[in-house]
Amino acid sequence: MNTAVPWPADGLVLVAPGGLAGAAAGSNLAALLGLRPLLRAITAADAPDALLTGLAAEPAGWLLSLSLDPGQDLEGAGCWAEALAAWRQPALLLVPVDADAPLPAGCARAYAALLQLRGVPCLGLVQLGGDTPPQPQRDGLPWLGWIDPLGADAETGEALAQALRLRIQLRWRDFSAARPDPPMPDPADAAAHQV
């Protein structure tokens, strides 16, 4: 799917409880959103700041699927949630449905709280799988939509995909509009510090 309207920021990081296993979910979501999936093997030994610095040099329109749990302790220090917050990197939370629970409410609440506590600019939650889409009125979480990995019929699937894409794009634009610009140095300060 090709996007006619450019996305408002360079890219998104897709996070999930326990991390994303495999690239299928990220690639499917990237295709839906018209973003370029970045296939990177990330380990606990990788420094988030170095990876995020590298992402700043990537051409706009990417989606990185984080293969680690965003709250997992890293070898250097901290966790990915802290790094995403420090860089003000927009993220989406993908919540797979647990086969033993009809809705992923507990897991969704826990990870949404983790990202909020750390200050990650999370655009919202996307449910992966399950028999029914999430019910936002039940838990008050910022659900954006639902991806049915088994595939609904073509017409229903396309309508759900377009609705999800639109919700994500609107949230991303709202975030970008509210995102504070980096502070600009005061010319008077610069002149005072010259030798």
The confidence score (pLDDT) of residue 185 equals 43
CA distance linking residue 107 with residue 77, whole number of Å? 24
The pLDDT of residue 9 is 58
Alpha carbons 77 and 82: distance in angstroms, whole number: 10
State if pTM tops 0.75.
yes
What's residue 84's pLDDT?
A: 93
Domains of the chain, with CATH numbers?
Answer: 11-181 (3.40.50.300)
For residues 158 and 47, what is the distance between their CA atoms, to the nearest angstrom? 38
**Contacts of 165 by beta carbon, 8 Å cutoff, 6+ apart:** 1, 32, 33, 34
pLDDT score for 121: 92
* Per-residue model confidence as pLDDT tens for the chain (195 residues): 334 344 445 888 999 888 886 666 777 788 888 889 988 878 888 889 889 988 888 888 899 999 899 999 988 778 999 999 998 899 999 888 765 555 556 888 899 999 999 999 999 998 877 666 666 556 778 888 877 655 555 555 677 777 788 888 888 787 776 655 444 444 454 444 343
